[in-house]
Each structure stands twice: as structure tokens, then as C-alpha cells.
Amino acid sequence: MIRTALIRIGELPSTRLASVSPFYRTEPVGHLEQGWFVNAAAVIETALDPRPLLDALLGIERSMGRVRKEKWGPRLIDLDILFYGQAVIDEPDLVVPHAFMDRRRFVLAPLADVAPDWRHPLLGLTPGEMLARLPENGQEAHRL
């Protein structure tokens, strides 16, 4: 599923897939009565603004069979904008940088692989620095 989504992202207008992290097997957060997930992060170069990019990502999810039912529930695919350069956007359905990313190992571990020098525009921390602040006994993320 992730590989298919990455191909489709690379096919978006004026968009190039620059790098992709290794895949990680991660435990669910929130709704825990479900299997573990596979997560990855990708850096893209795009001329699309954040809103059209989000709309395109949601379209890819739908085309792959994603039906949004319950927050943090089981899903086939989940595509998010983690950051968009140093942009800060706070709209009801678009928050950039991604909300709570600094508390989620399943986001930070792959992000540290592909964007180690990026700094969160509000926190001033790199993905690795945010990852180091997480408790040792928290969410598990294992590189595949």
C-alpha cells in the first residue's frame, strides 16, 4: 500500500518524490484494539500549495479504498502533510506542522531519516531532538 501511495504522490502535477525513509512497524496510538501499522515518511518537492496538496493526498487515500470512520481507528492508508517548509497553518482541517508530531514516535522516527536538519518552526527542534525527548517506554517503532 505504501509503495503504491508513493508512486501516486510522485505522479501529482509539478511534484517530485525526493526521498523516502525506511519503513517502520509501529504500535497503534489511541484506539488500541487493532494491529500494528507500517509507517514511512517522504520528502517531496512540489509546486502545489498546501491546500491543493492535501486535497490530492486525500484523493489518493480514497482511490486506494480509505473510508474515514473513527479517529485513530484502523485504516488502509493514511497520508499526511507533516511539514511544508517553515509554513505554519492552523485551519480546521489543515494543521502544519502536523499536530502532535513532536509526541509521536511513529512520525518522528521515519522523519528523522529523511529530514534530519529540518527544524519545527514553532518548537525550534529537529526530528531527532523531538525523538530524543520522548519517553523510553513509550510507543514502539521498529525499522523493517
Q: Give the distance, in angstroms, between the CA of residue 105 and the centroid of all CA atoms in the same chain.
A: 11
Identify whether 104 is a catalytic site residue.
no
List 49, 51, 80, 143, catalytic entry: 80
List 25, 75, 103, 119, catalytic entry: 75
Identify whether 93 is a catalytic site residue.
no
Identify whether 119 is a catalytic site residue.
no
Give the amino acid at 118. Answer: W
List 78, 105, 119, 133, catalytic entry: 78
Identify whether 49 is a catalytic site residue.
no
List 66, 103, 113, 119, catalytic entry: 66
| CB 134, CB 105: distance < 8 Å | yes
Rounded to whole angstroms, the Cα distance separating 37 from 28 reads 7
Phi and psi, residue 142, nearest 5°: -120, 125
Catalytically annotated residues: 66, 75, 78, 80
